[in-house]
Amino acid sequence: MYVQKCVKGIAGRTSSTPHGLTWSEACDLLTTNRGLLSNWWRTKDTITPEEVADVLNETRLSQHLHDYDLVKDHTPFISLAAGAVERDRIARSNVVYSAIDTALLFATDNWATPGALFYCWVPTALNKAVALQAVAESVRDLLIYRTWSPYQLEGELAAKVHIPSNQIERVEWWDGSQDTAGPVRTFKNPNYMDPAPVTNLRELF
């Protein structure tokens, strides 16, 4: 297992995105300790351990990755951006895609709406571990997920069911109608916990 820092983009609420967030609601997800819920949990409102065990399987994950429009309202997975690299064999070079750019364009629908970026960390499995809720899947790692995907360069991590609020460092509000160079608002989570306690480094004493 390793700890991966990620960004989650969520659309702001407008007439075209009525299920999006307001800035106040984005901050409340941190201050109320609600964190980021999967759409499946938000839709059901109440879930049980038995139901979690039923939905965390490779079929559901594949649907989330490759047929998102069909299952988006009921998926137990949460896509996170962590950055991606595309290999250009002809040019003999690698193209690097920023996690922030990927999350930002998703959250704002290419600057058509405002959106929120949540900066977080998640424990991530070194191998496939779809049934284990506690760890995210590195679904774009070709050493683990070898099947070709048309979405190789986006949604690099799939977290499961819920991201606790104390794993979210801050939230930014972006609005292209005001500024595209930086966020118009930033809120730092007072309850954030650094991932150091779950890494494999121990200090001397």
Domains in the chain with CATH codes: 2-198 (3.90.210)
| Residue 109, φ and ψ in degrees, nearest 5 | 50, 55
pLDDT in tens, 87-117: 888 988 988 889 999 999 999 999 999 999 9
CA distances from 10 to 13, 28, 125, 185 (A): 9, 14, 24, 15
**Is the CB of residue 84 less than 8 Å from the CB of residue 102?**
yes
pLDDT in tens, 52-96: 999 999 999 999 999 999 999 999 999 999 998 888 889 889 888
Q: For a pLDDT cut of 90, what percent of the chain falls above it? A: 78
Output the CA torsion sign for 52, 55, 58, 60. Answer: negative
Q: What is the pLDDT of residue 125?
A: 96
Distance CA 29, CA 56 (A): 24
In DSSP terms, which residues pair with 85 in a beta bridge? Answer: 96
Q: For a pLDDT cut of 70, what percent of the chain falls above it? A: 100
Distance CA 49, CA 113 (A): 36
- pLDDT-derived band at 142 (thresholds 50, 70, 90) equals confident
Tell me the mean pLDDT in the region 2-6. 96
Is this structure's pTM higher than 0.75?
A: yes
Q: What is the pLDDT of residue 167?
A: 98
